[in-house]
Amino acid sequence: MSEHFLEIRDVSKIYRIGGLIGGSKIAAVDHVSLTLEAGKPQILSVVGESGSGKTTLARMIARLIQPTEGEIFIDGKSTSGALNHTQMREFRRKVQPIFQNPFESFSSRKTVDTYLFETARNIAGARGKTQAHQAVEQALASVGLAADRVIGRYPNQFSGGELQRVSVARAMIPRPELLVADEPVSMIDASLRMNVVNLFKDLRDQYNVTILYITHDLSTAYYVSDLIAIMYRGKIVEYGPSSRVLKQPAHPYTELLLDSVAKIGEKWSEVMSLPDMETKEYGYSACKFAGRCPYVRDICRQVKPPLVDVGGGQEALCFKLVDYQNVEQQSTEKVQTHAI
């Protein structure tokens, strides 16, 4: 068995924006690396404001898009590049996506069980009606839904929260090892969000599934995650056990997020986005947070910040955490290897 269940190795996704002439490139995900230990199902929250690259990262992990650079491994096997039919099937069994809007995941003209049975046959490999039924029933039970409440019904006969449970059930049919859930509760009534979030904890504990929970809602992330990755403009700027990251943030951006949560109550979303700075910030060659950072020094605008291990599995990408002078040489080298 590989020592890592998931390994994201120096992955980037570059998009061209504007025309071919006079257009520019942005790194939606910019040299991201991350590993999750094998044999230990966990909930990893990826938190960041809109435009920070969360969806792009999630889509690369779920193999819905390919990285421009770098590679992603599951159980030590690369999932990037071409996969043959068998490898693709194996991947789909192991990794299942859950999308933001459950009403977009199901056609309004089909009963939702159509999708459940399709997944049971095509991905989970159920043979015959009985096996498919069993797989569907078990998956629905795993999310707390009775089959007769679901089978034969159309999407509009469910609430958003219930339908998201059905899409989690669909994802659970192949008994995946990893669920990639991109803002799964943002379209759901605030009062029902915790139900779905709690469900993730149950699935981790009962079905040993690792969950990548992508969110811009720090309060649910705090509640549900074992690990947390804070993204800013395509970079993971801080990573570690959620209790450490959210109680003793090492990166000034994480600090700022936590302050703003304290100010505006439970959530932060639109309040945090700065659309007019976005494209410019993507192009910063050194620290992308330099323009907003209260601790900014000259070096932050000139040299890429180092990844600093602050102990207890927590790390952050910031000059503030090191002796500025000593890292100058080392970081200059990093700039070269990290250049787009």
Ligand X SMILES: Nc1ncnc2c1ncn2[C@@H]1O[C@H](COP(=O)(O)OP(=O)(O)O)[C@@H](O)[C@H]1O
Number of H helices, E strands in the chain: 14, 12
Is 111 or 273 the residue whose CB approaches ligand X more closely?
A: 273
Across the chain, where does the E strand assignment appear? Answer: 4-17, 24-37, 43-47, 69-74, 77-78, 95-98, 178-182, 210-215, 227-232, 235-241, 307-311, 314-317
Nearer to ligand X, 270 or 333 (CB): 270
Q: Is the dihedral of CA 255, 261, 262, 263 positive or negative?
A: positive
Minimum CB separation from ligand X for residue 118, in Å?
27
Q: Are 58 and 46 in contact (CB under 8 A)?
A: yes
Q: How far is the CB of 154 from ligand X (least distance, A)?
A: 29
Site string for Mg ion, 44-83 (x = CB under 5 A): ----------xx----------------------------
Q: Which does 53 bind (CB under 5 to 8 A by kind): ligand X, Mg ion, none?
A: ligand X
Q: Is the dihedral of CA 172, 177, 180, 186 positive or negative?
A: positive
Contact 241, 226 (CB under 8 A): yes
Residues that bind ligand X (CB under 6 A): 15, 17, 26, 28, 48, 50-56, 278
Nearer to ligand X, 12 or 56 (CB): 56
Q: Which CB sits closer to Mg ion, 288 or 320? A: 288
Question: Which residue type does 227 have?
Answer: L
Distance of closest approach, residue 58 Cβ to Mg ion, in angstroms: 8
- In the complex, least distance from residue 228 CB atom to ligand X, rounded to whole angstroms: 15
Tokens of residue 155, six digits: 């999407």
- Told to check if 42 binds Mg ion by CB under 5 A, we report no
Is 56 or 105 the residue whose CB approaches ligand X more closely?
56
Q: Give residues in contact with Mg ion (CB under 5 A).
A: 54-55
